[in-house]
């Protein structure tokens, strides 16, 4: 259905003509209830993850830089708003002068010394009859709002990065444990084959093949340790600490809770995603700039005035006879400027249209992000279920093959295949668990993070 302007944007903005779906393609029937809370990361049940998130909120440098940009934008908005108020200045002068000592007759004299004292106030005000200054102020204010939403976007990206890096730490620890267990299993098989070789029932080829499996499992550990340390370092960067000062205990993905995330309604996404709100604010700023550019075609009306006291004697400065004032009004109408004003107007109109299209794309991309995350959760959950079944079957096959090895009733090729199948199944299972948690984080991010509680009663259009 086509979404009306008042449901999304401010009433004075152009209609984006959006097609907002009634629900998400891959959402469940009850997924509109219980939207994610603001502190969504607590749902994973990890105290360490919560501590890292809270630290990132306060010390992350990207968030700090985005906050500084808000302060800059607010200052620029105040600067633009100053044009709506009159300017007032005061001055005090003490002027001393000496006339020339020459005369027309060629005679010289000492000249004449004069002293003038003055104190005055000057005021200037541009009547904003066409709304030029008002629109410039509004544009600056909307830019400041855009920076606020940009800060929220940076914060959300940071939180997702912290969660994903922490999950990478956990899965790296899980995979290292799996690799060490596989090494122990391969070593056990190696010892059994060596015993058969010593007893004359095995061959050097059998032992060499098993040795290759054992060394291959050991070779898989260093890259996992490297990945583990790199993600710990990434967490240190996200919480603005040198890696040496951050200790991450970690644990296992198996110890985390698996939250059920409900996406709410697609129309709610427009008010929750900070990148959408930023684009809306940018569009509002561009619309105000169009108004400012249009007003430049009309006359500029300026009022000026000054008044004060002026006297040759300091004692008589503030007497009625020393009062002076002047008042002036002027109107300046552009006549010929080489097309500068028209070009600026065309530029602002084109900029407004660009941001309108960018806003529409951001909204459409947001819907796709949510659907992609929902289908990722669904499919990664199904993959995890099947991979667990694969791991159980592979474990059973390996146990049986080990028993037959000791009984001397299995060939080495079958034994090697069951080993490698189990080792791969266990490692793939750990990665499938990671994929599901990452899909959940992606959904939180696609929804704009946590949602503020819904207000009861009517709410004004944004």
Asked if residue 255 is part of any domain, the answer here is: yes
Q: Which of 94-98, 224-228, 304-308 has the highest mean pLDDT?
A: 224-228
Range with lowest mean pLDDT among 7-11, 155-159, 426-430: 7-11
Asked if residue 318 is part of any domain, the answer here is: no
The string of DSSP codes covering 119-130 is EEEEEEEEE-TT
Asked if residue 399 is part of any domain, the answer here is: yes
Rounded CA gap, 322 and 338, in Å?
47
First-to-last C-alpha distance (Å) of the chain: 20
Range with lowest mean pLDDT among 281-285, 361-365, 428-432, 447-451: 447-451
Asked if residue 313 is part of any domain, the answer here is: no
Rounded CA gap, 276 and 254, in Å?
35
- What's the mean per-residue pLDDT of the chain? 87
Asked if residue 312 is part of any domain, the answer here is: no
Q: Which ranges constitute the DSSP H helices of 46-131?
A: 47-59, 61-81
Q: Which two tokens stand for residue 208?
A: 């060499």
Asked if residue 387 is part of any domain, the answer here is: yes
The string of DSSP codes covering 299-359 is PEEEEEEEEEEEESSGGGTTSGGGEEEEEEEEEE----STTHHHHHHHHHHHHHHHHHHHH
Write out the residue range of the structural domain in which residue 50 sits. Answer: 2-85+129-296+362-446
Residues 16-25: b if buried by 16+ CB within 10 A, e if exposed = bebebeeebe
CB 82 within 8 A of CB 137: no
Which residues neighbour 421 within 8 Å (Cβ) at sequence distance 6 or greater?
A: 394, 397, 398
Residue 454 has pLDDT above 90, yes or no: no
Range with lowest mean pLDDT among 118-122, 212-216, 326-330, 410-414: 410-414
Percent of the chain whose predicted confidence (pLDDT) is above 70? 91
pLDDT at residue 456, rounded to an integer: 44
List, edge to edge, every strand of the sheet that includes 113-127. Answer: 87-98, 113-127, 300-311, 323-332
pTM equals 0.85
CB 110 within 8 A of CB 101: yes
pLDDT at residue 68, rounded to an integer: 95
Of the candidates 4, 17, 11, 13, the residue with the CA atom closest to the CA atom of residue 361? 17
Asked if residue 96 is part of any domain, the answer here is: no
Q: Which two tokens stand for residue 148?
A: 């606020």
Residue 319 has pLDDT above 90, yes or no: no
Q: How many domains does the chain have?
A: 1
Q: What sign has the CA pseudo-torsion 145, 150, 151, 156? A: positive
CB 158 within 8 A of CB 166: no
Question: What are the pLDDT digits (tens) for 21-42?
Answer: 888 888 876 655 667 888 999 9
CATH number of the domain where residue 207 is located: 1.20.1600.10
Asked if residue 306 is part of any domain, the answer here is: no
| β-sheet bridge partners, residue 82 | none
Q: Which two tokens stand for residue 97?
A: 């002068």
Residue with tokens 């146990």: 399
Rounded CA gap, 168 and 157, in Å?
16
């Amino acid at each position: 259905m086509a979404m009306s302007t008042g449901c999304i944007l401010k009433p004075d903005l152009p209609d984006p003509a959006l097609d907002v779906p009634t629900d998400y393609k891959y959402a469940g029937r009850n997924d509109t209830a219980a939207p994610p809370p603001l502190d969504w990361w607590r749902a994973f049940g990890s105290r360490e993850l919560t501590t890292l998130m809270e630290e990132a909120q306060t010390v992350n440098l990207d968030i700090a830089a985005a906050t500084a940009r808000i302060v800059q934008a607010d200052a620029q908005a105040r600067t633009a708003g100053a044009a709506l108020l009159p300017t007032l200045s005061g001055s005090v002068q003490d002027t001393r002068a000496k006339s020339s000592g020459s005369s027309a007759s060629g005679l010289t004299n000492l000249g004449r010394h004069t002293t003038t004292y003055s104190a005055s106030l000057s005021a200037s005000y541009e009547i904003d009859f066409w709304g030029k200054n008002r629109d410039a102020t509004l544009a600056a204010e909307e830019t400041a709002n855009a920076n606020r939403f940009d800060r929220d976007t940076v914060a959300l990206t940071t939180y997702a990065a912290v969660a994903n890096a922490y999950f990478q730490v956990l899965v790296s620890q899980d995979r290292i444990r799996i690799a060490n267990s596989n090494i122990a299993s391969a070593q056990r098989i190696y010892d059994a084959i060596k015993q058969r070789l010593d007893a004359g029932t095995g061959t050097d080829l059998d032992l060499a093949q098993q040795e290759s499996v054992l060394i291959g499992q050991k070779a898989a550990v260093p890259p996992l340790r490297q990945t583990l340390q790199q993600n710990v370092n990434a967490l240190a960067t996200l919480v603005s600490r040198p890696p040496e000062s951050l200790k991450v205990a970690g644990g296992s993905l198996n110890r985390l809770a698996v939250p059920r995330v409900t996406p709410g309604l697609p129309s709610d996404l427009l008010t929750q995603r900070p990148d959408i709100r930023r684009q809306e604010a940018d569009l509002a700023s561009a619309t105000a700039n169009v108004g400012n550019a249009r007003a430049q075609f009309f006359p500029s009306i300026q009022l000026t005035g000054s008044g004060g006291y002026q006297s040759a004697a300091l004692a008589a400065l503030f007497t009625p006879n020393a009062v002076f004032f002047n008042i002036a009004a002027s109107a300046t109408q552009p006549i010929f400027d080489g097309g500068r004003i028209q070009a600026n107007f065309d530029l602002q109109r084109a900029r407004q249209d660009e941001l309108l299209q960018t806003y529409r794309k951001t909204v459409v991309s947001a819907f796709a992000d949510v659907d992609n995350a929902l289908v990722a959760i669904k499919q990664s959950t199904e993959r995890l279920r099947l991979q667990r079944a694969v791991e159980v079957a592979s474990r059973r096959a390996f146990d049986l093959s080990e028993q037959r090895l000791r009984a001397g009733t299995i060939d080495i090729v079958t034994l090697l295949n069951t080993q490698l199948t189990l080792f791969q199944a266990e490692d793939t299972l750990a990665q499938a668990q990671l994929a599901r948690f990452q899909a959940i984080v992606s959904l939180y991010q696609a929804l704009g993070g946590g949602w503020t509680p819904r207000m009861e009663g009517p709410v004004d259009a944004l």
